[in-house]
Structure 1
Amino acid sequence: MFRTALRQLPTTTRISTTSRAAAQLQTRKAHAISNPTLANIEKRWEAMPPQEQADLWMALRDRMKVDWNELTVQEKKAAYWVAFGPHGPRAMPPPGEGFKVFLYTMYGIAASGVIFGSVRYFARGPPDTFTKEHQEASNVYMKGQNIEPITGISSEGYIGKGMVATTRSSADLPKKAEE
């Protein structure tokens, strides 16, 4: 409806209407923010409600769109502090937080040590295959079966230890509880 009415207007009227509206939009400037609003913003920012913080930030943002030479010193300081000040995620940790982190870390390490020790205490002993005698018997069996004849234990001139990986004999191991 509105379009058809605009089409029917003479072209000179349409151009002047649109240019007047554009001129009004272009000449609009953001007005300076009052000093009481910006005074002591560093101390008041955390106590301000989120809506008031957002309104102030939007006003500062609109104000920063004009030439920066037109901004007052108070507005420049407030804009910098709101953008980069030590609040929110950039706030300094409260006093004693480092000690709390250290203390809880030590609690975690102590708890993991207790869990590790209790698991080791209640676990079964090492299997029979961990004894030196069993591993030497495995070497004899491998030589008898001619296992790995090219580079392994059955090859000519082999000087390695074979399957022996431990120095503990069966006498060194704790006795297994009979099940």
Structure 2
Amino acid sequence: MMRITTSGALRAAIASTSRQATTTTLISRAAASTHAISNPTLANIEKRWEGMPLQEQAELWMSLRDRMKEDWAQLTLQEKKAAYWIAFGPHGPRSLPPPDESKKVALGIFIGVLASLAIFSTSRMFAKPAPHTMTKEWQEAANEYLKEQKSDPFTGIASPNYTGKGQVQSPPSNA
């Protein structure tokens, strides 16, 4: 694996360029903060915001933010409207959902319910029959066996005043 190293002169040039860019940005922001932002820059910001490059959006927001740090009475009406719209307007995560989104969600739910019903009915169709211990006769015989064994004599099936069904859970069989 080849390792790339930068020479000291190259690092100094990069740092110098970075400092110059930072200084230029700070100077331009300071200059922008003393003057109002031009009306053509802020005109129809609601329609142009989504199409603007991210760098331009960031620069506009930073200049508006710097203007808002001063007295708000000095801001123009266009600047106030633009600052409010950029901060709270329906764009980005606050944008309105597409008009057909609810139809897509309803269709997805319908398809999911149909798929689950198909899986359920298929599994029931190929399932084995109920075990022989689930018949009413078997469960009544289990009740008699528990009474003979005096199982749970205080509150259960072997108690003198028991009125429950005991082990019987199945509906009466038709066989």
* TM-score for the superposition, normalised by structure 2: 0.78
Cα separation, 2, equivalents of 1:84 and 1:112: 42
Corresponding residue for 2:147? 143
* CA RMSD after TM alignment: 1.7
Percent of pairs with identical residues: 62
Cα separation, 2, equivalents of 1:124 and 1:105: 30
Cα separation, 2, equivalents of 1:75 and 1:89: 23
Equivalent residue for 1:169, pick from 155, 168, 173:
173
Cα separation, 1, equivalents of 2:135 and 2:61: 74
Q: Which amino acid aligns with 2:120?
A: F
Corresponding residue for 1:73? 77
- The Cα offsets for residues 70-114 of structure 1, whole Å up to 9 and x where unpaired, read as 110000000000011111111111221211111111111111111
Q: Identify, as 1 or 2, the structure richer in helix.
A: 2
* TM-score for the superposition, normalised by structure 1: 0.76
Corresponding residue for 1:104? 108
Gap runs ≥5 in structure 2: 1-29
* Counterpart mapping for 1:1-179 below 5 A: 29-169=33-173, 171=175
Q: State which structure, 1 or 2, has the greater radius of gyration over its C-alpha atoms.
A: 1
Cα separation, 2, equivalents of 1:138 and 1:162: 9
Cα separation, 2, equivalents of 1:55 and 1:160: 79
- The Cα offsets for residues 33-70 of structure 1, whole Å up to 9 and x where unpaired, read as 11111111000000001111111111111111111111
Segments of 4+ moved more than 3 angstroms: 27-30
Do the aligned residues in 2 keep the contact of 1:133 with 1:170 (CA within 8 Å)? no
Cα separation, 2, equivalents of 1:31 and 1:100: 49
